[in-house]
Structure 1
Amino acid sequence: MTSELLDQALLDLALIEEATKKSGLVWVRGAEAPAARALWHVWHVWHEGAVCLVGDGPDEQPLPGLTAGGFAEVTVRGKDKGGRLVSWQATVSEPAPGSPEWEAAVAELKGKRLNAPDSEEMPARWARECRVLRLVPTGSVAPLPTGSLAQRPVPTPATTRKPVPAALPRLLTRRRKKK
């Protein structure tokens, strides 16, 4: 490997790490994701050179298409505007519950998990009911897309609300009388 290629690989890894550490949310596309919903937004932590995720259990985020030994594409958003900063390829691994790698990832994830119904029992519940995954960068940054990546919304039975009642704007803008 030439010096220039090595320097570029190190710069790519530094960009991946710095952007991913600062972003609380990433979009992930697993190699085996369903076609209807290829990109999923997930919360994560950056730990020991990888994105760590927990999900696929009750009260946790879905992780479709992410299988141990497979590949994933990770897209990191900017914290200030929420736009795409960098996309990169990763290998997916699933450490065995109770292994040192699993314990280290869970310790980091537990500290970042918001609104957990059972904060002290989380690691045991994750070991029983969920999957903890590590997405390790392969080292290369994908080029940013040139066109729009807009997709149709996922079909849903939800509907928009009915028209606003005519009197509501007057009620909302009416000032309170001083006492």
Structure 2
Amino acid sequence: MTQELLDQALVEEATKKSGLIWVRGISVPAPSGPDDEVPAQALWHVWHDGAACLVGDGPGEQPLPGLIDGGDAVVTVRSKDKGGRLVSWSGTVVELAEHTPAWEAAVAELKGKRLNAPDGEAMTERWARECRVLRLEPTGATAELPQGSLAERPLPTPATTRRPVPAALPRLLLKKRKRR
């Protein structure tokens, strides 16, 4: 019993303090095959009322792949200071119906943490129309942290990085002004 309470406290404190969690959704088993696993994805969240709350799957919001209502998820929490893995826990995905008391409470918390929203105060109505608000409720099971770096190749994207700095640019920037 004591170990369960310590695990619960660790999950809650670590997840509360971390602004970013890694979530791997495990979809409900298909009748014709085994469970499908989706790779872990970094997601911003807030801890509210005993669960990690997320918003996404809408224009301008984070994608929530593999997170379906009633499904399971594995959450790995990182340290906000050092970025290392602190704890990994299992949870159940609960999709909140819009404008219910639970949805309103979760959205009020999420709204305070959402950075650079394109529509400011109108974002909650956009979330109700176009997005999903989820709760990841811990099941009480913590997992052993994986060993190694878990580094993987980035997914293909149309985004590009900057090109190399032109060779003449440093000379132009550091050129001293001539005195008259």
Range class of TM-score, shorter chain = 0.7 to 0.9
User: Which deviations, in whole Å up to 9, do the C-alpha atoms of 1:20-72 show, x marking residues without a partner?
Assistant: 1111111111113986x612111100000000000001111110100000001
* Structure 1 residue 149 displacement after superposition: 1.0
The CA deviation at 1:77 is 1.0
Aligned match of 2:74 = 73
How far apart are 1:178 and its partner, in Å? 8.3
Indicate the residue corresponding to 1:155 in structure 2: 156
Give distance in 2, aligned partners of 1:159 and 1:118.
26
Alpha-carbon contact 1:34-1:64 (below 8 Å) kept: no
SS of the residue 1:120 aligns to: helix
Matching of residue 131 in structure 1 with residue 132 in structure 2: yes
Q: TM-score, normalised by structure 2?
A: 0.86
Secondary structure class of the residue paired with 1:73 = strand
Alpha-carbon distance between aligned partners in 1 of 2:119 and 2:158, rounded to the nearest angstrom: 31
User: Who is 1:17 aligned against?
Assistant: 12
Q: 1:126 to 1:34 in 2, by over 3 A?
A: farther
Alpha-carbon distance in structure 2 between the residues aligned to 1:178 and 1:19: 59
- Conserved 8 A contact 2:94-2:135: yes
Tell me how large the CA RMSD over aligned residues is.
2.3
Once residues 120 and 155 of structure 1 are traced to their aligned partners in structure 2, the CA distance between those partners, rounded to angstroms, is 33
TM-score normalised over the length of structure 1? 0.87
CA distance in 2, matches of 1:163, 1:72: 41
Identity %: 71
Structure 1 gaps, min length 5? 1-5
- 1:166 counterpart residue number: 167
